[in-house]
């Protein structure tokens, strides 16, 4: 064929610039090993944490290495644990048996929606384990093996589990859409428990677990450190309101023990929410106490194993008993309330030394917590506002146009939907909901839960946060929303980054920061700043003309 010259059409043949061969090889997902490129995995657990907790196989290793230094009989260990878990959890057994792969959950996971990796489809994440279950624990599987979807447990499978079960934030959105309620979070918890038998864990989870075991909170804040931090907040409160507060710490005989996630002690904007709690309790004169021993509501044991979760959670009831309080109030947190609402009473109850929670200010008895005896701060505050016990001036928040992010666990493991909304509507005049299929029980995750909220996991978090970011961007453009309220410490940390990437200009706030900003406290001075010590819009002009006159 004659050589074509540039002015001839044939010269410009189809360049295969973009024919990237991304389509999977024909034999399907079963045989594609996970690709541990840098930035696609979270740093592994440091040995000292596993040692301090007495957990198996502590050593220095990296997922990028070929050899993960696993014990010789690692297959036997996994099978033994797999069998044990199948014997202990009916949910695990049923979720292994009943999936019909109808695909209703396939496009509901925020990591699949944002990233497009098919193994992030909930049905396929579960198949990673189900294929091993089929091959080794069912008679049909043993016979037909690969023909009926079975798969041998190889080293690649373990690596795949580590890769994909630390790409699930256990937000349970898939279980809302599954006709049988199959909960991939439950399967992820089982898989992580099995992986921990081989010492395969993530440092961003195990360090807080070790800290919480030692000092009572994830950050390793020691008792006098917590007192110093709370007093530091009270100084700021005094600057803003002119009211001096002495934070009650480890006070015996108080009516209420208050437990909040330790994120509120260190990470802005959580710290402003913590200030909000103290201002609220001061205003209504609640007889409460903090505890430095039980200074962690959150529980990273939830991302490790049932026993570790129970070990970390036991401190709350033990401390409530020691201090002799009547009941417990829990702060704004996501995973904390998954543990409190669904595990705590079963694991560490019965709490018969406590009373059924009764608000000393309104007299409301919280029947819904008759056994666990612990109520959510928004349940408590909504009740206060409903009975008009708080003097609120929503105009103080007029410069705030807020929307509300339903944190996954309060939404899907409790159903805490109306309480925060009632409070926000009472303290803020411009509140706009995000689109219907991104809130309430269909809420999209922040992309950083279940131990994934660390900086080396940034791209994955931004992919996971994209559906939420898109919804925030929508209300930002449509209603000029500038604040995203939420009731979770991890959300208050990770959503800051999600918003800065997907919807720049939107700040993140806790619900009780809004409450405190709008509260007219007895004996407070004229408010010129909000809790972040930023001048209030009104105050600026007044200051300006004060200066002039």
Partner 1 sequence: MAEFKAGDQVVDIDEDGFLQEPDKWNEVVAAALGGTEGVDDLTEDHWKVVNFLRDYYLEFGVAPMIRKLCKETGFKLNVIYELFPSGPAKGACKIAGLPKPTGCV
Partner 2 sequence: MTAILALGAILILILLAGFGSQVAGLQVVFGVAVPYAAIALFLGGLVFKVMSWARTPVPFRIPTTCGQQKTLDWIPSARFDNPHTTLGVIGRMALEVLFFRSLFRNTKVDIRPGGRIIHTPAKWLWAAALAFHYSFLVIFIRHLRFFTEPVPGFVKAIQSVDSFFEIGVPSIFLTSFLLLGALGFLLLRRLVSPQLRYISLANDYFPLFLLIAIGTTGVLMRHFQKTDIETIKAVAMGILSFSPVTAGGGALFTIHFFLVCVLFAVFPYSKLMHMAGVFMSPTRNMANTNRAKRHINPWNHPVAFRTYEEYEDDFRDKMKAAGIPVEKE
Partner 3 sequence: MQVLADLLRKNEAALADRWLELILASYNPDTAGFFKQQKNRFANPVGQTFAEQTRVVTERLLAGEGIEAFQDPLHEIVRIRAIQEFTAAEAVGFVFLLKDAVRETLADSLRDEQAARELQAGLHELERRIDRIALLTFDIFVSCRERVYSLRLREIRAGYVQPG
- 282 or 419: CB nearest partner 2: 419
Closest CA to 517 of 401, 404, 398, 364: 398
461 exposure class (CB count in 10 Å sphere: 0-12, 13-18, 19+): buried
- Considering only 214, 244, 478, 525, the residue that binds partner 2 (CB under 8 A) is 214
If residue 402 lies in a helix (H) or strand (E), which one and from where to where?
Answer: strand 401-405
Q: Judged by CB under 8 A, does residue 266 bind partner 1? A: yes
Among the listed residues 225, 248, 349, 360, the single contact to partner 1 using CB under 8 A: 225
Number of residues lying near partner 2 (CB under 8 A): 107
CA–CA dist 340, 298 (Å, integer): 9
313 Cα distance to chain centroid: 16
Cα distance between residue 124 and residue 121, in whole Å: 5
Helix residue spans in 257-394 (DSSP H): 263-266, 270-284, 306-323, 335-339, 345-348, 377-386
Selected range binding partner 2 among 25-33, 34-42, 265-273, 279-287, rule: CB under 8 A: 25-33
Q: How far apart are CA 322 and CA 251, in angstroms?
A: 10
Residue 395 binds partner 2, judged by CB under 8 A: no
Closest CA to 448 of 417, 415, 492: 492
Choices 20-28, 398-406, 473-481, 513-521; region in contact with partner 2 by CB under 8 A = 20-28
175 touching partner 1, by CB under 8 A: no
Nearest to 163 by CA among 139, 195, 136, 206: 195
52 in contact with partner 1 (CB under 8 A): no
Q: Does 419 bind partner 2 (CB under 8 A)?
A: yes
Instruction: Write out the residues near partner 3 by the rule CB under 8 A.
Output: 7, 9, 12, 14-15, 17-20, 22-24, 37, 40, 106-107, 112-118, 263, 266-269, 435, 437-438, 455-456, 458-459, 462-463, 466-467, 470-471, 474, 493-494, 496-497, 500-502, 507-508
Kind plus residue range of the DSSP H or E element containing 404: strand 401-405
Q: Considering CB distances under 5 to 8 angstroms, the limit depending on partner class, which of partner 3, partner 1, partner 2, none binds residue 208? A: partner 1
Backbone angles phi, psi at 44, to 5 degrees: -70, 165
- Least Å distance between CB 265 and partner 1? 8
Contacted by 99, from partner 1, partner 3, partner 2, none: CB < 5 to 8 Å by type: partner 2
Q: Does 309 bind partner 1 (CB under 8 A)?
A: no
Contacts of residue 403, Cβ cutoff 8 Å, sequence gap at least 6: 431, 432, 433, 434, 472, 475, 479, 481, 483, 484, 485
Binding mask 192-211 for partner 1 (x = CB under 8 A): -----------xx--xx---
* Smallest separation (angstroms) from partner 2 to the CB of 544: 43
- Choose the stretch contacting partner 2; rule: CB under 8 A; options: 38-46, 203-211, 254-262, 366-374: 366-374
- Decide: is 107 part of the binding site for partner 2 (CB under 8 A): yes
Identify the bridge partners of residue 290 per DSSP, sorted by sequence position.
249
Q: Residue 107 CB, nearest distance to partner 3 (Å)? A: 5
Pairing of strands 507-510, 430-431: unpaired
* 267 part of the interface to partner 2, by CB under 8 A: no
Query: Which ranges in 285-376 belong to alpha helices (H)?
Result: 306-323, 335-339, 345-348
Q: How many other β-carbons are positioned within 10 Å of the β-carbon of residue 48?
A: 12
Residue from 144, 153, 155, 267 binding partner 1 (CB under 8 A): 267
Q: Does 486 bind partner 1 (CB under 8 A)?
A: no
Establish if 183 lies at the interface with partner 2 (CB under 8 A).
yes
Smallest distance, Å, CB 188 to partner 3?
Answer: 21
Looking at residues 220 to 259 of the shown chain, list those that interact with partner 2 (rule: CB under 8 A).
Answer: 222-224, 227-228, 249-252
Angle between helical axes of 418-427 and 511-518 (0-180°, round to 10): 30
Q: Give the nearer residue to partner 3 in terms of CB position, either 196 or 440.
A: 440
Q: Interface mask (CB under 8 A) for partner 2, residues 516-535, using x and -?
A: --------------------
| Dist. CA 499–CA 491, nearest whole Å | 11
Q: Token digits for 172?
A: 């349970």
Q: Is residue 65 involved in binding partner 2 (CB under 8 A)?
A: no
Q: Which residue has the tokens 């006709």?
A: 179
Enumerate residues 434-463 that contact partner 1 by CB under 8 A. 453-454
Query: How many helices and strands (H and E) does the chain possess?
Result: 24, 8
Give the footprint of partner 1 on this chain (CB under 8 A).
203-204, 207-208, 215, 218-222, 224-225, 228-229, 232, 235-236, 261-263, 265-268, 270-271, 298, 300, 453-454, 489-490, 492-493
């Amino acid at each position: 064929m004659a050589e074509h010259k540039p002015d001839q059409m044939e010269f410009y043949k189809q360049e295969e610039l973009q024919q990237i061969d991304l389509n999977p090889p024909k034999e399907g997902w079963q045989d594609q090993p996970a690709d541990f490129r840098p930035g696609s995995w979270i740093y592994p657990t440091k040995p000292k944490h596993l040692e301090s907790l007495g957990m198996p196989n502590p050593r220095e290793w990296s997922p990028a290495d070929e050899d993960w230094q696993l014990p010789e009989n690692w297959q036997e260990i996994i099978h033994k644990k797999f069998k044990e878990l199948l014997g202990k959890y009916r949910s695990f057994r049923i979720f292994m048996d009943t999936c019909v792969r109808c695909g209703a959950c396939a496009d509901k996971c925020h990591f699949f929606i944002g990233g497009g990796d098919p193994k992030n489809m909930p049905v396929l994440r579960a198949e990673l384990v189900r294929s091993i279950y089929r091959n080794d624990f069912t008679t049909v599987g043993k016979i037909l093996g690969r023909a009926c979807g079975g798969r041998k447990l190889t080293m690649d499978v373990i690596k795949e589990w580590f890769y994909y079960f630390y790409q699930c934030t256990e937000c349970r959105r898939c279980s809302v859409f599954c006709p049988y309620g199959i909960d991939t979070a439950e399967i992820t918890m089982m898989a992580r428990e099995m992986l921990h038998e081989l010492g395969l864990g993530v440092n961003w989870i195990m360090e807080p677990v070790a800290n919480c075991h030692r000092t009572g909170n994830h950050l390793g804040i020691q008792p006098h450190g917590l007192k110093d931090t709370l007093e530091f907040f009270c100084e700021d409160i005094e600057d803003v309101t002119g009211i001096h507060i002495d934070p009650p710490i480890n006070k015996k005989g108080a009516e209420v023990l208050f437990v909040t996630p330790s994120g509120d002690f260190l990470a802005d904007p959580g710290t402003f929410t913590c200030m909000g709690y103290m201002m609220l309790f001061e205003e209504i004169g609640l007889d409460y106490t903090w505890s430095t021993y039980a200074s962690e509501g959150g529980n990273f044991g939830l991302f490790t194993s049932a026993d570790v979760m129970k070990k970390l959670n036991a401190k709350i009831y033990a401390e409530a008993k020691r201090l002799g309080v009547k009941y417990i109030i829990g702060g704004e947190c996501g995973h904390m309330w998954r543990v409190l609402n669904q595990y705590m009473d079963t694991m560490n109850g019965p709490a018969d030394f406590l009373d059924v929670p009764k608000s000393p200010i309104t007299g409301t008895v919280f029947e819904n917590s008759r056994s666990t005896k612990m109520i959510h701060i928004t349940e408590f505050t909504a009740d206060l506002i409903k009975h008009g016990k708080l003097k609120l001036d929503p105009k103080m928040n007029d410069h705030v146009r807020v929307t509300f992010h339903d944190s996954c666990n309060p939404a899907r493991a409790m159903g805490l939907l109306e309480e925060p909304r009632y409070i926000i509507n009472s303290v803020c005049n411009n509140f706009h909901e995000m689109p219907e299929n991104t809130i309430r029980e269909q809420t999209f995750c922040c992309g950083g839960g279940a131990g994934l909220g660390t900086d080396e996991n940034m791209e994955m978090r931004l992919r996971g946060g994209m559906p939420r970011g898109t919804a925030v961007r929508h209300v930002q453009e449509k209603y000029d929303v500038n604040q995203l309220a939420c009731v979770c410490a991890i959300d208050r940390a990770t959503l800051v980054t999600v918003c800065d990437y997907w919807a720049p200009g939107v700040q993140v706030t806790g619900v009780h920061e809004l409450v405190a900003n709008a509260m007219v406290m007895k004996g407070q001075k004229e408010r010129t700043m909000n809790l972040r010590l930023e001048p209030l819009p009104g105050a600026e002009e007044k200051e300006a003309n004060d200066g002039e006159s």
